[in-house]
A and B are shown apart, each in its own frame.
Chain A
Amino acid sequence: MAQITLVEAVTQALAYEMAHDDSVVVLGEDVGVNGGVFRATQGLQEKFGELRVLDTPLDEATIAGVTVGLAAQGMKAVAEAQFEGFIYPMMEQIACHAARMRNRTRGRITVPAVFRAPWGGGIRAPEHHSEANEHLFTNIPGLRVVLPSSPARAYGLLLAAIRDPDPVIFFEPKRIYRQYKEEVPDDGEALPLDVCFVLRDGTDVTLVTWGSQVKECLETADELAAEGISAEVIDVATLTPLDFDTIAESVQKTGRCVIVHEAPKTAGFGAEIAARLSEECFYDLLAPVERVTGFDTHIPLFRLEMKYMPSVERITAAVKRTLAVS
């Protein structure tokens, strides 16, 4: 069985679902002959033709609105925003139509669409190519916001997103697109949406994260283990609807929680999790919940971008602060 990267897992999931479901169509800028600027749609147009793998005019609002129209006619439309920094013109169609069509028509019209976008910083890209803006979508009712953090989860969650009867924002952490390979059987097995994945069991502290920061959190957990500190690592994976129970159970066990995300701190999705912990797990907490996040700045251009990102050092320091409270 072939070992594949996260971006190859995206391609594999798209190809599998297109081969098994005629209603699946992929559309976006450069998704056709070029196979996407990250090659996520590599080879799909050759296999499935120009209409089912459609190069659109260069207009994100067009991509999003056409996606809503396709999905309303029963097509499983998978739209690509070339970068998350270019997704803003799509937001009106996503918020005003994709996310609320089922509700406002009492189920008469639905939008089974996926809006994919490479997400986050760390690849020395130009301006507007490195945003982490998932929190702008988690406050929109009727949307699922999903971020995979490994090749296997990218494959399984993307299949689930395409099969889901409601719109899904699928952010692909581009910093780890090609970070490592793993075996991902092309068996069409989806992973569940709306659940967190506990990637590592631990007893002293819970690290809650998603997307590319899963990498730093697992590294932090390794380093802490060497010092005899046992960290549990949770990949939230589906931000909304949130599987808060898995986070709560972990924090009830560890009593300490550090939330790690790349997006700016203020009103980032970490704030939601921290607030829920405060509301529902206050008496289980042995220390204040910590957040290690991007700063309330624009992600700087690439000479400084890694200074903006949560690092193993910053996460470790936060864990130690929580452990210092007794």
Chain B
Amino acid sequence: MTIAAKFEIEYLQYLDAEGKQIRDDLPAFANDLEHMVGLYKTMLSTRVFDAKSVALQRTGKLGTYASCLGHEAAHVGVGSAMKPEDVLTLSYREYGAQLYRGVQPREVYMYWGGDERGNDYQNEPARHDFAWSVPIATQCLHAAGSALAFKIRKEPRVAVCTVGDGGSSKGDFYGAINIAGAQNLPMVAVIVNNQWAISVPRRIQSGATTLAQKGIAAGLDCIQVDGNDIIAVRKAMGDALDRARKGEGASVVELVTYRLSDHTTADDARRYRGEDEVKDAWSKDPMKRLRNWLTARGAWDDAREEAWKNECDEWMDNEVNAYLETRSQPVTAMFDYIFAEVPADLAKQRDYVLSLEQKGH
């Protein structure tokens, strides 16, 4: 038999579910405990933020909200590995990455609270990232296009897209990794495999053993990572970003994690998955393993945990207040930004809406 080509997919993990180190060759950044504490703090603030968001929704102060519970290591790992000048295109629950890149909680609240201004991220580097993309996987092609722009302009920047296990079934995902391979684009496609696309489990999305291997067909570097182990996520992302930045090719990074929450606040996951599975997933919680690992190194303890939680609570309360105090846009805002300038024909409709408003309708 002649073999035309042969492939394998590496699986990367440093910490087990209890936070015990299972290999000795820690990447350099992991020896910087201050940096690792910083990652943990962002993960924890993300979790506090997420709980606050769900509470806001439950009390009628937010529309439908997509929780990120359980994805903290995956998302913060992605955001922290990127350089400020890189660009993130994402779906709609990657808050850990976004908080790391400067998105303000109040902006997330505004978006899910029915106000487009939530997409107008004020802080760099998030300001040059894309906004949430609800149509599944379409954002992968925006990363490919951005990466092509960087390549044309010879800018040492990388475009990163995040997509779910369900999203990796879509043509846009395949199209993006395909052109990234064909054109050697500076791009990293991250599959956040949280096992569930609303009610449809991972096994129904694909017969492939790993989702990472989809990148092999596109000629990309591929790796599967324990997505609840931030050291592994950060390491795999760092390597992929380095390769892309040096013009050595795009990658697919599959982060295996678990959606501990419902799909959104409009969903009830008890309809389609058992308690045992969720209980087992909680035992692999990304927070616990990093906390244990840091604690074992004397870099974290209960007092610090409590203090940081309180700080996060205070921060989120401020953000919630800022959100709740934001007045709605004027009714004419729906006409703004349809085009760079409002065309005459559209201005007539805007004036009509304004006249209704003035009559108190």
Contacts and interface: CB of A to CB of B under 8 A. Distances in A.
Contacts of A51: 148, 151-152
A59 interface: yes
B131 A104 contact: yes
A61 B145 CA distance: 12
Contacts of B351: none
B133 to A, nearest CB: 8
Given A108-B121, A109-B131, A65 B175 contact: yes
A244 B345 CA distance: 8
Contacts of B133: 97
Given A102-B339, A103-B116, A108-B121, A242 B345 contact: yes
Interface in A49-107: 51-52, 54, 56-57, 59, 61-62, 64-75, 77, 89, 92-93, 96-97, 102-107
Contact of B179 (A56, A102, A103): A56
B175 A57 contact: yes
Given A96-B138, A244-B345, A59 B116 contact: no
Residue in A56, A65, A89, A93 with the greatest tally of chain B CB atoms within 10 Å = A65
A188 interface: no
Interface of A: 25, 51-52, 54, 56-57, 59, 61-62, 64-75, 77, 89, 92-93, 96-97, 102-110, 141-142, 144, 165-166, 194, 241-245
Contact of A106 (B116, B146, B176, B344): B116
Contacts of B121: 108
A109 B146 CA distance: 12
Contacts of A92: 135, 138
B172 A65 contact: yes
| Interface SS, B side | helix
Contacts of B140: 65
A59 B340 contact: no
23 contacts: A56-B179, A57-B179, A57-B182, A61-B171, A61-B175, A65-B138, A65-B140, A65-B144, A69-B142, A69-B145, A69-B147, A73-B145, A75-B152, A77-B145, A93-B141, A96-B135, A97-B133, A105-B337, A106-B117, A108-B119, A108-B127, A243-B344, A243-B345
A165 B142 contact: no
Interface size class of B (residues with CB under 8 A): 35 or more
A68 to B, nearest CB: 6
A109 B179 contact: no
Contacts of A106: 116-117, 119-120, 336-337
Contacts of B178: 57, 59, 62
Given A65-B172, A69-B149, A242-B345, 14 more contacts: A51-B148, A51-B152, A52-B152, A62-B179, A65-B145, A66-B148, A73-B87, A102-B337, A103-B116, A103-B337, A105-B120, A107-B120, A166-B339, A245-B344
B343 A194 contact: yes
A25 B146 CA distance: 13
Contacts of B337: 102-103, 105-107
A187 to B, nearest CB: 25
A165 B337 CA distance: 11
Contacts of B44: none
Nearest to B149: A73
B340 A165 contact: yes
Residue in A51, A56, A69, A110 with the greatest tally of chain B CB atoms within 10 Å = A69
A142 B172 contact: no
B141 A61 contact: yes
